[in-house]
Amino acid sequence: MGTSRETAFEPLTGDGPPLSGPVGERAGVVRTAFEGMLQIRRLTNTGHADPERVPAQWELHRPVRAVALALEAAGVAASAVGASGERTATGYRVCEGESRGSVRVEWVGPPGSGAVHDEERALAGCVTVLSRLGWTALSYRGPRRRRFLEVEPPAAGPRAQGVRS
């Protein structure tokens, strides 16, 4: 008999193994999890004009999971890692950011995949997805001029989305 850990849903962060199993089945589970997140937002953000655009408290405590779920639900491709640690797919990689409560989103892929050439356009798409859901996503250039996003919950007041070099 399997444990609940084996059957618990985890959104793709880009650091896991390639997906196995039916794609349609995974899409249904992702859709259900995302709709659940939106329902939690509607129930807990009752004081906001548009409660679906404000991350719920549980998201703020698990920002990597929340951001990964948002990207996967939007149909953005996740990267993947093989058994020996090599990248096997091009896509987003979500991990903890530099500051507490922030998330870093990178566009990565196997050597020779062209991920570096696609990262500006791909990360701009991630900004669009995350901004619609109320996250603040700023674009930066890191080592070797590789782009990445620093994603944070919205500030108390209005805050502009933007690009930093």
Report yes or no on 157 lying in a domain.
Answer: yes
Is 3 within the bounds of a domain? Answer: no
Quick check: is 57 in a domain? yes
43 domain residue, yes or no: yes
pLDDT of 6 reads 52
Domain tally for the chain?
1
Query: What is the extent of the structural domain holding 110?
Result: 12-163
In a domain, 40, yes or no: yes
What is the model's pLDDT at position 23?
79
- Average pLDDT by stretches of 10, the chain with 165 residues: 59 93 88 96 92 94 97 97 95 96 97 94 98 96 92 65 42
User: Hey, CA dihedral for 16, 21, 24, 26, is it positive or negative?
Assistant: negative
Question: What does the pLDDT read at residue 139?
Answer: 96
Contact 47, 117 (CB under 8 A): no
Residue 107 neighbours by CB under 8 Å, 6+ apart: 90, 91, 92, 93, 115, 118, 119, 122, 123, 126, 147
Is residue 7 domain-resident? no
Residue 83 lies in a domain: yes
Residue 129 has a pLDDT of: 98
CA 146 to chain centre: 18
Q: Please indicate, yes or no, if residue 1 is contained in any of the structural domains.
A: no
